[in-house]
């Protein structure tokens, strides 16, 4: 079991391909997973998870304007789904995560994850893939896309 420097979360390599991550109250999802990616030298991986958050900043990309319209939600939310990838951009860890959360009324909200703070816990599985992929900025969309 490894505790990441300065972050309360813990993680464990359960085999050569899978890392289990537990986030605790106050942990921020993106920063925590980027810390794991850096410590474990992850070049390419899939991420999935669930849990509970008290704050989430997520967005929808506006292609013509080439920017994310961010929405911030604060309160009690179940993290119904966290999904995405970890890869690299200019040889540094890079994340692309989407999140769906449910509110107290049972309504779902989702989008591209910018930030989310854990209220209770989160259980996240990182599945490492063989190989690597780097990203580049697309002049057409403004997005950081896979570079083959």
Residue ranges covered by each domain of the chain? 2-129
Nearest to 32 by CA among 9, 57, 48, 50: 9
Distances (CA, A) of 123 to 47, 88, 114, 126: 11, 23, 18, 10
Could you confirm whether domain 2-129 is CATH 1.10.540.10? Answer: no
pLDDT at residue 5, as a whole number: 47
pLDDT at 8: 76
pLDDT of residue 1: 47
Q: Residue-wise pLDDT tens for the chain (148 aa)?
A: 444 444 579 999 999 999 999 999 999 999 999 999 999 999 999 999 999 999 999 999 999 999 999 999 999 999 999 999 999 999 999 999 999 999 999 999 999 999 999 999 999 999 999 999 999 999 999 999 999 9
């Amino acid at each position: 079991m490894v505790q990441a420097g300065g972050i309360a979360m813990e993680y464990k390599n359960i085999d050569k391909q899978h890392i289990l991550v537990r986030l605790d109250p106050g942990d921020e999802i993106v920063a925590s997973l980027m810390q794991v990616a850096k410590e474990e030298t992850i070049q390419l991986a899939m991420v999935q998870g669930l849990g509970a958050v008290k704050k989430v900043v997520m967005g929808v990309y506006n292609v013509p304007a080439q920017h994310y319209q961010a929405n911030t939600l604060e309160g009690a939310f179940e993290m119904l789904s966290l999904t995405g990838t970890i890869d690299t951009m200019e040889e540094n860890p890079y994340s692309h995560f989407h999140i769906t959360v449910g509110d107290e009324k049972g309504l779902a909200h989702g989008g591209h994850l910018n930030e989310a703070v854990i209220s209770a816990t989160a259980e996240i599985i990182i599945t490492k893939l063989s190989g690597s992929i780097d990203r580049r900025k697309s002049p057409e969309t403004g997005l950081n896309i896979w570079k083959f």
